[in-house]
């Protein structure tokens, strides 16, 4: 079995690829190594994957290209014939989407359509693809359930992730491609993205600079440790969805389908207030943060929390890493990686 991981040099893509390689599963990665954030971190992740592959005597091959290049995508599928695909390549970030909409249209929609076309052409057994908790948008019915509507996005990033779910369902319906959409909730941990709060806060606190605390600190998130996300993905990998033969077309349930397509929340069900999160960082660093309290940013939701009963029922697992433990592991990695 060979697994194709798009976005292999990204945060989640690196961790998923690492675990697969350690399990002895060959991995083909696609990544454009773009400059959305420091590419040195991406190159360091790839170097680490090559080292892990050498130690595990397992193949890791990186195709350095963009999934918006249709010819490269099809050539990669044709050459390596992956049995499964984990699509994690995307232009990430809510705030970046406000000023750079075309980045999201190209990568998240055009690129994802190329992946789906290749999955159809080369008869992939299962595609798992990254969606996001941001698709719940203006919904204030907490916790978010896969049965809830997702037709009121607050930003373009969320809209493109909703579009991914619609595209995947269409391909599942037309061609019978088993597809699982994964709505991730605020993933954090070692090798994380420099544009996310944990990275930004840690760097600022160590440099004795103020941190920006939006909505005056009145925010809550389902902070989900990276290992919990990887465990969930790997448990789902060999559980492709099947058609729901009892699907009621007169009362359609958004969480299921007559097609082999499903949507699942993947997140820690225990929400954490932002100020508690910041306190965990301060404790791990042994330094008090200088806080700059600001209004909520456009496109942000003040609270986000998942209902993960469907995930737990399917794979017998739920994310549960405590915030202090996860933040502590990130800070240890950060100090080592940056020699702080």
pTM of the model: 0.95
Cα gap 246→47, rounded to integer Å: 48
Annotated active-site positions, please? 157
- Into how many domains does the chain fold? 1
Residue 244 forms part of a structural domain: yes
Strand pairing partners for 183? 131, 265
Please, is 151 exposed, middle or buried when counting C-beta atoms within 10 Å of its C-beta (0-12, 13-18, 19+)?
Answer: exposed
CB crowding 80-109: b at 16 or more within 10 Å, else e: bebebbbbbbbbbbbebbeeebebbbebbb
Question: Is 328 within a domain?
Answer: no
User: Range of 245's domain?
Assistant: 3-189+224-269+306-319
Beta bridge partners of 28: 4, 61
- Whether the per-residue pLDDT at 288 is higher than 80: the answer is yes
pLDDT, the chain, mean: 95
CA–CA separation, 75 and 89 (whole Å): 17
Q: Residue 178 above 90 pLDDT?
A: yes
C-alpha 146: how far from chain center: 17
Quote the CA–CA distance of 228 and 121 in Å, as a whole number: 32
Look at residue 104 and tell me if it is in a domain.
yes
In a domain, 249, yes or no: yes
- pLDDT at position 95 over 80: no
Nearest to 104 by CA among 90, 89, 86: 90
Helix pair angle (112-121, 156-175), 10° resolution: 10
Q: Do the domain assignments include residue 213?
A: no
The mean per-residue pLDDT over the stretch 77-84 comes to: 98
CATH of the domain at 143: 3.40.50.720
Burial 188-208 (b: 16+ CB within 10 A, else e): bbbbbbeebbbbebbebbeee
300, pLDDT greater than 80: no
User: What's the whole-number mean pLDDT along residues 227-253?
Assistant: 95
Residue 196 lies in a domain: no
* Domain-embedded: residue 102: yes
CB atoms within 10 A of CB 26: 17
Does 292 fall in a domain?
no
Higher pLDDT, 100 or 171: 171
**How do residues 120-160 score in pLDDT, each as one tens digit?**
999 999 999 999 999 999 898 999 999 999 999 989 999 99
Q: What single string gives the DSSP state of each residue in 78-105?
A: HHH--SEEEE------HHHHHH-HHHHI
């Amino acid at each position: 079995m060979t697994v194709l991981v798009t976005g292999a040099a990204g945060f989640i893509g690196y961790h998923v690829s690492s675990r697969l390689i350690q399990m002895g599963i060959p991995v083909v990665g696609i990544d454009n190594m773009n400059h959305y954030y420091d590419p040195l971190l991406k190159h360091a992740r790839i170097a680490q994957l090559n080292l892990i592959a050498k130690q595990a005597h397992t193949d890791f091959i990186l195709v350095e290209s963009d999934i918006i290049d249709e010819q490269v995508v099809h050539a990669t599928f044709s050459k390596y014939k992956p049995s499964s695909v984990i699509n994690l390549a995307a232009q990430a970030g809510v705030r970046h989407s406000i000023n750079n909409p075309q980045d999201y249209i190209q990568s998240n929609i055009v690129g994802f359509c190329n992946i789906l076309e290749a999955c159809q052409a080369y008869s992939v057994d299962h595609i798992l693809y990254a969606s996001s908790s941001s698709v719940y948008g203006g919904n204030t019915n907490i916790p978010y359930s896969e049965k809830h509507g997702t037709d009121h996005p607050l930003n373009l990033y969320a809209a493109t992730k909703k579009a991914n779910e619609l595209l995947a369902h269409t391909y599942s319906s037309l061609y019978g491609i088993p597809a699982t959409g994964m709505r991730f909730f605020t993933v954090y941990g070692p090798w994380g993205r420099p544009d996310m709060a944990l990275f930004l806060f840690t760097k600022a606190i160590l440099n004795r600079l103020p941190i920006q605390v939006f909505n005056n600190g009145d925010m809550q998130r389902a902070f989900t440790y990276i290992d919990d996300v990887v465990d969930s993905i790997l448990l789902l990998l060999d559980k492709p969805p099947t058609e729901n033969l009892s699907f009621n077309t007169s009362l359609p349930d958004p969480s299921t389908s007559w097609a082999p397509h499903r949507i699942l929340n993947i997140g820690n069900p225990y929400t954490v207030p932002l100020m508690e999160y910041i306190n965990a960082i301060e404790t791990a660093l042994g330094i008090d943060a200088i806080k700059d309290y600001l209004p909520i940013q456009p496109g942000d939701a003040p609270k986000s929390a998942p209902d993960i009963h469907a995930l737990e029922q399917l794979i017998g697992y739920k994310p549960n890493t405590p915030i202090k433990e996860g933040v502590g592991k990130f800070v240890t990695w950060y100090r080592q990686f940056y020699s702080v």
